Amino acid sequence: MTALPYMPLFVNDYLGDTEHLTTVEHGAYLLLIFNYWRCEGPIPADDKKLAAIARMPLDQWLEIKPSIEEFFTSKPNGDANAMRWHHARIDHELRLVHAKSSKARASANARWNKDNNANAERPQYVRNATIQDNKQKARGRARIFVEKGTKEWTAWQAVKPQPPMRADDGRQGWWYPSLLPELDKVEGEA
């Protein structure tokens, strides 16, 4: 899974559980749970690694470790020698995020597969027309292709200069809104 965009922090629960911690202990505990979230799993139960994660010297870590250790449970991680610290609340939140992500992925796949299957049954010209209709609806107005070198092109260039682009049939020009008062003003002056 890609990096999780956010970590839920329930401030009321956090403060209720950690009111006995000092400022340094709060900082160390937060850094440990942030690392747990980023790695999406348990952290090593090695004091040197935990001190590095908490960004403090080993001797200072060993002083505050008993206060922090109460929030974690130490369990073996596959290897009998490799112990890791587990955090029940973060494990629960990670399961929720993974479940939500899996549901969203399945829903998106179903939606895209449904659209692809429906499109496969329609001829290409009908699909293209539908796409163009949807684009026009999304913009809120119809658009026309004004060919380069025409009277309309000159008028539009006076209102809104644009470099020419190539249409599907090879003509050069630009797509403009079909009805704009500015065009009528420029044509009336000419």
- Say if 168 falls within a structural domain: yes
- Say if 160 falls within a structural domain: yes
Residues 90 and 177 in one domain: no
Residues 105 and 151 in one domain: no
- Say if 130 falls within a structural domain: no
Residues 15 and 91 in one domain: yes
Amino acid type, 13: D
Residues 104 and 15 in one domain: yes
Residues 2 and 84 in one domain: yes
- Say if 12 falls within a structural domain: yes
What pLDDT, on a 0 to 100 scale, did the predictor assign at position 103? 83
Residues 117 and 148 in one domain: no
Residues 3 and 74 in one domain: yes
**Other beta carbons less than 10 A from residue 15's beta carbon:** 11
Supply the CATH number for residue 9's domain. 1.10.10
Whose CA is closest to 143, among 91, 179, 99? Answer: 179
What pLDDT, on a 0 to 100 scale, did the predictor assign at position 15? 92
DSSP conformation letters of the chain: -PPPS-----HHHHHHHHTT--HHHHHHHHHHHHHHHHHTSPEE--HHHHHHHTTS-HHHHHHHHHHHHTT-EEEEESEEEEEEEE-HHHHHHHHHHHHHHHHHHHHHHHHHHHHHHHHHTS-HHHHHHHHHHHHHHHHTS-EEEEETTSHHHHHHHHHS----EE-TTS-EEEEEES--HHHHHHHHH-
- Say if 70 falls within a structural domain: yes
What pLDDT, on a 0 to 100 scale, did the predictor assign at position 75? 86
Residues 107 and 25 in one domain: yes
- Say if 126 falls within a structural domain: no
Residues 57 and 22 in one domain: yes
CA 115-120-121 angle, 5° bins? 105
What pLDDT, on a 0 to 100 scale, did the predictor assign at position 76? 83
Q: Tell me the residue range of the domain where 158 lies.
A: 140-189
Residue 186, Cα to own-chain centre: how many angstroms? 45
List the chain pLDDT tens, one digit each, 190 residues. Answer: 466 778 888 999 999 999 999 999 999 999 999 999 898 889 998 999 999 999 999 999 999 999 999 999 988 877 666 789 999 999 898 888 888 878 878 887 777 776 555 555 555 555 555 555 555 554 555 556 666 777 766 776 666 666 666 666 666 665 555 544 444 444 444 4
**Considering its fold, how many domains does the chain have in total?**
2
- Say if 131 falls within a structural domain: no
Residues 96 and 147 in one domain: no
- Say if 133 falls within a structural domain: no
Residues 68 and 96 in one domain: yes
Side-chain half-sphere exposure of 67, counting CA atoms within 13 A: 19
